[in-house]
Amino acid sequence: MNTSWKACLAIGLWAALAGGAARAEDEVERPRPPSSAFAPTQLTGTLAKLRNTGTIAIAHRESSVPFSYFNARKEPIGYSIELCKALVNSIADAVQKTLTITWVPVTSESRIDAIADGQADLECGSTTSNLERQKRVAFSPIIFVSGTKLMVKAGSPVRSFRDLAGKKVVVTAGTTNEKSMRDLVARFKLDTQIVAMPDHAASFAQVANGAADAFATDDVLLYGLIAENANQGGKFQVVGEFLSYDPYGIMYRKDDPQLASVITDSFRLLAEDGEIERQYNRWFLRRLPSGTSINLPMSPQLEAIIQTLSVSKPQ
């Protein structure tokens, strides 16, 4: 794929999509760029609040492998978590104060409210940026491109959504995948039972224990769950065509121009420095803490987005 084609694709994606409790504390201790790179002259909105409190609340997921999930010590880890920690460094520069992270667990159903209602300042998970959600929250530049597919047990007769007639499909409540499946079943008049579970781990278990015939969610999450459960027995496959288009972003509060500027500038520098690609390689190509690997090379779409972001200049 040539560079000019990638750049055109990325520009189109950017224009269409960029609109952007149990708690533990974690101190950020990473090298930072000069504070002048991010510091506004007078703080407002979220930045003013963070300066006053010295803490930043990050919403995270428990089983969105490898974006945002718990390790064996019940600590949030993953690709999105690492990118958010880098954002915290930039935000700390902007407010000229070291910030302590307060971790806020959320689900697919509660994550948007957590940001919109002020329970968390950033949401670091596997959240699709779309126009409907952008009415309530804002999103960072795109960090991943995925789409809905089906996971089934090896040997299942289900090879695409057309084979779901008379079958039971599990989805995770509050996801774009749930809406995509309900719309698809209605459109094609399939006699398919859709069951919603509270999180991805519970949805995966429905197929693993035979309670459902297929699990519909973003393909990358399915690969991550399969990798994480490789040592627990059972063989699973991801099948069928893409049933939706899902670009991920980091969520933050809407109508907060100072925070938006810091996040956009930070992502530009992370792309320019190669940190986004390094974190991608760490979480998608190398072994996860569990010892397994997803082994998923970066898509041409995400390559193009990062490339265009790295050459863009702040206004």
Fold classification of 3-145+247-311 (topology level): D-Maltodextrin-Binding Protein; domain 2 (3.40.190)
- The pTM for the full model equals 0.82
What's the chain's Rg over C-alpha atoms?
20
pLDDT digits (tens, 9 = 90+) for 242-259: 999 999 999 999 999 999
pLDDT: which is higher, 227 or 19: 227
Predicted local confidence at residue 103, as pLDDT: 98
Per the CATH hierarchy, to which homologous superfamily does domain 148-239 belong? Periplasmic binding protein-like II (3.40.190.10)
Predicted local confidence at residue 20, as pLDDT: 42
C-beta separation of 121 from 57 below 8 A: yes
Phi, psi of 127 (to 5 degrees): -105, 125
pLDDT digits (tens, 9 = 90+) for 79-120: 999 999 999 999 999 999 999 999 999 999 999 999 999 999
Instruction: Spell out the domain ranges in the chain.
Output: 3-145+247-311, 148-239
Phi, psi of 41 (to 5 degrees): -70, -35
Asked if domains 3-145+247-311 and 148-239 share a fold, the reply is yes
Predicted local confidence at residue 229, as pLDDT: 87
By the 10 Å C-beta count (0-12 exposed, 13-18 middle, 19+ buried), 186 is classed as exposed
Q: Could you give the C-alpha distances from 142 to 43, 149, 169, 224, 282, in angstroms and in order?
A: 26, 20, 29, 19, 18
pLDDT digits (tens, 9 = 90+) for 56-71: 999 999 999 999 999 9
pLDDT digits (tens, 9 = 90+) for 142-195: 999 999 999 999 999 999 999 999 999 999 999 999 999 999 999 999 999 999
pLDDT digits (tens, 9 = 90+) for 199-222: 999 999 999 999 999 999 999 999
